[in-house]
Amino acid sequence: MLFDATTKDTFLNIFEGAPERSLKAGDMLVHAGAEAESVYNIVEGTLMVTRIGNDGRRQVMSFLFPDNFIGLTTDRYFFAVQAVTDARVVSRPRAVLESRLEEDAEAGKAFLNMVYRVLENSMDLVYSIGQRTAVERVAVFLLYLRNRQKVVLNVDDDAPVLSRINLPMSRQDIADFLGLKKETVSRSFTQLDERGHISRPDNSHAVIDDLAGLRKLAGIQDFSSPLRPGQSR
Amino acid sequence: MLFDATTKDTFLNIFEGAPERSLKAGDMLVHAGAEAESVYNIVEGTLMVTRIGNDGRRQVMSFLFPDNFIGLTTDRYFFAVQAVTDARVVSRPRAVLESRLEEDAEAGKAFLNMVYRVLENSMDLVYSIGQRTAVERVAVFLLYLRNRQKVVLNVDDDAPVLSRINLPMSRQDIADFLGLKKETVSRSFTQLDERGHISRPDNSHAVIDDLAGLRKLAGIQDFSSPLRPGQSR
DNA sequence: CGAGGTTTTGAGGCGAGTCAAGGCGTGTGG
DNA sequence: CCACACGCCTTGACTCGCCTCAAAACCTCG
């Protein structure tokens, strides 16, 4: 597949001086089924990985942010990657990545670690969609965005900036990510607001007023903690 | 995380002559949160990867079959691995795997390809749980088991053996895998039966009578085909 | 043959989906 | 700069699919 990194990994130096490409919101960077000739790294903006069924049902697999890597697949892309906001990416031929990973064992290790993190994210999503209620899923989603922002800004977990959550994607996008309908996402935001967990200055922002409460709802100690879900039955 | 391979990959030769361990149905091979000292390969039997929330909700992430690899994580296991049936696995210290991947670029490539396949499987599951109805999920599940069996037996897709599906796991396990309740899984089997897609000689077997119909229900041409879901909207 | 567990089936409830209307924000053209 | 139009978001009323709770059927194993 294609997907996201999260930290500055050693292998990312293949993108130094790489050609840049600008995308408008809505533009497709990668089409499902296309040959995976290039790999990308995000410089600015938000993108999303989507998979669309024969009958039109769409699942958003992941949202991607600056410094996230795109290109986790063997020879063909199985999923599409689309710009959510205007964005800039840098690209390199896949072969450049591959020879880098072959030559430098350290880079190979870092790359593998990134793939593991992507796999973790995917499993987090499986757990969310499979086990949590609508409100819980939206709560987890906000914590997920908060954590991404924390990584992008490279700040402490208690940094005040993190309480203001940017929501560049539409309600429909969120719904397709969480396995809900857009109306349900909207109602869930309203509920979190009414319960005092969040407030909503405008449609593309949410402010976390009660982090502990959100985390409790999500059944999570800390989104980036090693034992996220806990292990007792 | 930890997880599964699917074919005989070059890196698997680290398990040649490795010590074997026997498991009884229900035994835990790996505990969530434990240090990942060893990696495993399945010789015989069925296992499953699970994640359990604080409140007891359980998500089965994957079922594992012979020649599937267990050990996709950095330093700690985030998930548990449990035997579904009596099983035998071989194990090696993680360090052995790591040095193998470092020394042999070919093995590293094969390993990475396996991780990609695992990631694909995980995304397939996200799509199923997020977008499909109960009956569709069970239909896809049967095709998924059929495909696994095809790989294990190394036979053609139209091999008659494949029509008889072995279901070593309980209805509860299936439910926790598909994000449903066990009663719903049961009702979905009944529906597939009534519609003439399958028959059920006993509780641990299903026979596919109408492969084309199942595939249509699942919205899939072929489970192992490159463009599984299709790409039009 | 009986006990315990699992699966199936049934009846009823509830959470999320559907369909539809209204509100709000944004951007464009007058 | 305002007015309007359009798209997106929210809210409401109603529906439906899956869940819950419960009982009966079945299977397994002593």
DSSP for chain A, please give it: ------S--GGGGGGTTPPEEEE-TT-EEE-TT-B--EEEEEEES-EEEEEE-TTS-EEEEEEE-TT-EE--SSSB-SSEEEESSSEEEEEEEHHHHHHHHHH-HHHHHHHHHHHHHHHHHHHHHHHHHHH--HHHHHHHHHHHHHHHHHHHHT--TT-GGGGEEE--S-HHHHHHHHTS-HHHHHHHHHHHHHTTSEEEEETTEEEES-HHHHHHHHT-S-TTSTTTT-S--
Is it the case that residue A228 has pLDDT exceeding 80?
Answer: no
Distance B64 CA to D28 C1' (A): 25
Q: Among B1, B52, B102, select the one facing A119 at the smallest CB separation.
A: B1
The reply to whether the predicted model has a pTM over 0.85 is yes
Q: Is the pLDDT of residue A230 over 60?
A: no
Query: B-chain residues within 8 Å CB-CB of A233?
Result: 52, 56, 58
Question: Does one domain contain both A42 and A85?
Answer: yes
Based on the fold, state whether residues B38 and B103 are members of the same structural domain. Answer: yes
Asked whether residue A92 carries a pLDDT value surpassing 90, the answer given is yes
Q: Please give the pLDDT value at position A221.
A: 46
Domain boundary among B92, B122, B152: B122
pLDDT at B5: 52
Within a domain: A159:
yes
Q: Which of B89, B122, B155 is the last residue of a domain?
A: B122
Identify how many contiguous H helices and E strands chain B contains and give both numbers.
6, 11
* Residue B10 confidence class, pLDDT cut points 50, 70, 90: confident
Residue B174's domain is classified under what CATH number? 1.10.10.10
Q: Do B116 and A72 touch (CB under 8 A)?
A: yes
Region B65-93: what's the mean pLDDT? Answer: 94
Chain C: positions less than 7 Å from a protein CB are: 6-11, 15-20, 25-26
Let me know if residue B224 belongs to a domain.
no
Task: Answer whether residue B212 is part of any domain.
Answer: yes
State the nucleotide closest to B189 in CA–C1' terms. Answer: C8
Indicate if A168 and A92 belong to the same structural domain. Answer: no
Residues of A in contact with B113 (CB under 8 A): 74
What average pLDDT does the segment B24-33 reach?
94
Residue B223 falls within a domain, yes or no? no
DSSP code of residue B56: S
B104 shares a domain with B10: yes
CA of A99 to C1' of D18 (A): 50
A142 and A110 co-located in one domain: no
Across chain A, mean pLDDT equals 90
Tell me: do A11 and A91 sit in the same domain: yes
Name the domain count of chain A: 2
d(CA A66, CA A87): 9
Q: Is it the case that residue A175 has pLDDT exceeding 70?
A: yes
Residues A23, A73 within the same domain = yes
Q: Provide the residue range defining the domain that includes A183.
A: 133-218
User: Is B153 found in the same domain as B98?
Assistant: no
Q: Are residues A59 and A143 in the same domain?
A: no
Q: B122, B149, B166: which is the final residue of a domain?
A: B122
Question: Is pLDDT at B43 greater than 60 in this prediction?
Answer: yes
**Domain check: are B33 and B88 in the same one?**
yes
Would A228 be classed as within a structural domain?
A: no
Regarding whether A144 and A194 lie in a shared domain, the answer is: yes
- The pLDDT score that the predictor gives to residue A4 is 53
pLDDT at A30: 95
Of residues B168 and A33, more confidently modeled: B168
| pLDDT attached to residue B88 | 96
Q: Residue A8's pLDDT band (boundaries 50, 70, 90)?
A: low
Percent of chain B at pLDDT exceeding 90: 79
The pLDDT of residue B54 is above 90:
no
* pLDDT score of A220: 63
